[in-house]
Amino acid sequence: MGIAKTFVIFVFILLISSTINLLKGVAADQIITSSSGSTFGRTSREPRYNIEFHSSDSVFHPENGQESVIMKNKDGISYNCYLPIKEETKTVKTGAYMQNSSNALLESDKKILKTPDELLDVLKDEPCLYRHEGWWSYELCYQKTLRQVHVEDEKVVQEFVLGQFDLEATSAYNEKHSDASLQKDPRSKDASQRYHAHQYTNGTICDLTDMPRETEVRYICSGTGTQVVIGSIKEISSCKYVATVQAPMLCKHPMFQQERPALYINCIEIRAENEDVFEENQGRTQITLVTEEPEQFAT
């Protein structure tokens, strides 16, 4: 077991505190997220470890050479947790840049770096992103639509559009907020988390409010790996949602570079029938996750 892996496991044992709330039986007008990510780290200079939990049928795939360790929560549910691949932090020379994230440019060594939206443009040519949470699956097509669907026999039998990309609303949001990329999630235990937001509006009419569903999609710097994944989808009020997307390409932008890097640990639920195989492959190394009650948000 490498030094980096040993350190992460040590930090897990001492400091981990996470919320696990797997989706089990929801009404058509409700979304219950699989989990809330946990954040921990000992000092301002040490890496910050964010934990995302995924269901057993998640589309998440680890990077080549990414180590993992089996963990269990207080309910005895096992997870295969993939540890981040730590890379050396590179110092970036920062010059003058504009505060509005939609226009922010960095002049470094006479080179103009891309804005957050320009860095995200590569997603236009990529397949849609998916997240599975029990009964529901989510499909996010960049700058197009976000859907909540239930699939049976490879056919969509139930569908709600959680929003369609709204360029005008996104531009208005960025103009209203002096620096959208430096916005902080008030629900996050890590108050320094930065994100770049896109607005999705005009979704399926909500039975509770008679208004179209809408979603704020927040792109964050994941700090490790190259894979873009939907980290979570939360309903913050009736038919209003926040989706968080791990987007490593944003880490290239100076506004997302921090003294304390964020590294993501992705934990995939292990099906009960596969536990023995996983434990045998990892020499039955296990750690117990200490969990606390989830925070209650308006629905």
Tell me the backbone φ, ψ of residue 237, rounded to 5 degrees. Answer: -155, 175
- The structure's pTM equals 0.53
Contacts of 260 (CB under 8 A, 6+ apart): 41, 44, 45, 46, 47, 48, 192
Does residue 11 contact residue 3 with C-beta atoms inside 8 Å?
no
Q: What is the pLDDT of residue 137?
A: 92
Question: Helices (H), strands (E): how many in the chain?
Answer: 4, 19
Q: Provide the mean pLDDT of the chain.
A: 71
Mean pLDDT of 260-275: 78
What residue ranges define each of the domains in the chain, with the CATH number in brackets?
Answer: 3-87+101-288 (2.70.130.10)
pLDDT digits (tens, 9 = 90+) for 105-115: 444 433 457 88
Residue 95 token pair? 């010059």
pLDDT digits (tens, 9 = 90+) for 36-54: 344 444 444 456 677 888 8
Calpha distance 248→143 (Å, rounded): 18
Q: What is the pLDDT of residue 25?
A: 32
Q: Which of 289, 274, 279, 233 is nearest to 54 (CA)?
A: 233
Calpha distance 195→73 (Å, rounded): 29
pLDDT digits (tens, 9 = 90+) for 219-267: 998 766 678 999 999 999 999 999 999 998 888 887 776 655 567 888 8
Q: Is the pLDDT of residue 10 over 50?
A: no
Calpha distance 33→132 (Å, rounded): 10
